[in-house]
A and B are shown apart, each in its own frame.
Chain A
């Protein structure tokens, strides 16, 4: 089964919350093994919903995949629960970091290994390996997580996820609210994990520029639909992406729907 080169293959999924609210209309995307794929879009576009559909965290928010299929590493994702997904090597880093505030930094990271049956010695070994990527966290290992900075908390969240030894990480807005320097630091770590540990990554971001510079491929979604996709390079040089997402705009068009409307208007005029 898993001979395909894609670790994740989402086909035409539709997601509804509470059986009424349609959050995703038709989203298809692929993540090739060992690659970084960016999922871009504004607030409410459906980035988080897509990630949660994959990690099966949707159920806890009364969301449901009502159409389409999700195939991960040769397995169809249907009735699995989040802890089964972690067992299969898929871990989501939730939006807003979500550290265990009353636990120390180190306890937070160790909690990430909960799903694995490891001895104390193995855990320490894994911990040391993780600290080589997150040097800052080693210095702060005994601090209570709630008192660390936003950047450190994001690192804790990623380090914690890495302790589960994932084949694939889903990162939901890892740079939200961080200073540019920290954004760069986080992305460096993510790239390093990708190349050295071979973890495939699906990354939801609003920070289009930085995300594309650190990804192999990108998808742009708006109101629950994929509007455009392509290699990161092609998207970075795409005029419409430049205009709509990189802020190099002249005409005041804000999204792809506006663009499509204008195009259909001009077509009508020509006809």
Chain B
């Protein structure tokens, strides 16, 4: 009985921690959704592009880890800059659907550029953190939990606190929240939309890099990262598209639910339900709580 409980705990904690990796990817989507009310389909490509560049800097140019990370982060700021100038600004007055289509196109461009620059083979990314159980926890709590999962959890926590402070207490954060509420009114009082766009796309790029590092360390840096990032979709449906805490909790829920279901119910379906179970959960949310757990409700004064 105790062993069964321990096993359940292990599955749950492992799932929750793996969920933080989904949260990280979802975070990038939320940032852009807040500012431009568009689902950024190129987020997956940004994850792939950024982490491939990071690997490339380290492995092809022998640049040390920290410097390579900074360079990759700067590269993502440049990507944000170009996106604002060449994609978003010309589409300033276009409908949200048009912008959505543009992000799909942008995704293909980034995927192509990444592979043209750094090649198509799968790269190994060694963060110096193993994807194996931490001995101390295994000995003392009898739980087998991966060091990489724990790191991902910590990194996600730090990024969230950082973003929260940025939005709540800085001037540009206030500007971003104003634009998220009413871009027209924000521009009428002199908030420059292009600065805000630049900020969110750069921030989303850096978040993508961090998420890419975590995923890359686990699964290898490869093209499949683009599709993995789409797991953020059910995360966002559950958490709410415009909510940062929602992205976090949504990620945790998806991570935990898919692992628990996989282990306990999976065998009845012949396994591998991890792939689709989150989407089933998402459909239930769409039916019964379309704004998600934390999505901003449309406030209407009565």
Contacts and interface: CB of A to CB of B under 8 A. Distances in A.
Which of B178, B185, B190: most chain A Cβ within 10 A?
B190
Interface residues of A, number: 39
Interface string A113-155: 0110000000000000000000000000000101111100000
A111 B301 CA distance: 22
Contacts of B96: none
Contacts of A164: 189-190
B175 interface: yes
Contact of B177 (A59, A93, A103, A112): A103
B192 interface: yes
A83 B177 contact: no
Nearest to B94: A62
A102 B177 contact: yes
Contact of A115 (B174, B182, B190): B190
Contacts of A82: 187-188, 190
Contacts, number: 92
Contacts of B175: 111, 114
B92 A60 contact: yes
A112 B189 contact: yes
A150 B301 CA distance: 9
Nearest to A123: B171
B296 A102 contact: yes
Interface string A51-76: 00001010111100000000000000
B184 interface: yes
Interface in A69-117: 82-83, 85-87, 91-94, 98-103, 107-108, 110-112, 114-115
B184 A94 contact: yes
A149 B181 CA distance: 18
Interface in B158-209: 171, 174-175, 177-178, 180-182, 184-192
B190 A83 contact: yes
Chain B interface size, as a band, is: 20 to 34
Given A100-B181, A111-B174, A55 B188 contact: yes
Interface in B91-138: 92-93
B188 A115 contact: no
B9 to A, nearest CB: 38
Interface string A28-71: 00000000000000000000000000010101111000000000
Contact of A114 (B171, B182, B296, B301): B171
Nearest to A111: B178
B299 interface: yes
A105 B32 CA distance: 25
A221 interface: no
Interface in B283-299: 296, 299
B301 A91 contact: no
B191 A60 contact: no
A99 B184 CA distance: 10
Contacts of B181: 100-103
Contacts of A108: 178
A64 to B, nearest CB: 12
A167 interface: no
A98 B184 CA distance: 8
Contacts of A102: 177, 180-181, 296, 299
A120 to B, nearest CB: 10
Contact of A147 (B177, B178, B187, B301): B301
Nearest to B193: A83
A144 B177 CA distance: 13
Given A101-B299, A102-B299, A103-B178, A83 B93 contact: no
B171 A98 contact: no
B165 to A, nearest CB: 15
A91 B174 contact: no
B188 A92 contact: yes
Interface string B252-289: 00000000000000000000000000000000000000
A101 B299 CA distance: 7
Contacts of A115: 189-191
22 contacts: A55-B188, A57-B184, A59-B93, A60-B93, A60-B184, A82-B190, A83-B187, A92-B188, A93-B188, A98-B188, A99-B185, A100-B178, A100-B181, A100-B186, A102-B181, A103-B181, A107-B177, A111-B191, A114-B191, A115-B189, A146-B300, A147-B301
Interface of B: 92-93, 171, 174-175, 177-178, 180-182, 184-192, 296, 299-301
Given A60-B92, A114-B190, 10 more contacts: A57-B184, A60-B184, A62-B93, A82-B187, A83-B187, A94-B184, A98-B184, A114-B189, A147-B301, A150-B301
The list of the 7 closest CB pairs from A to B, nearest first, reads: A86-B190, A115-B190, A98-B185, A146-B299, A100-B181, A83-B190, A83-B192
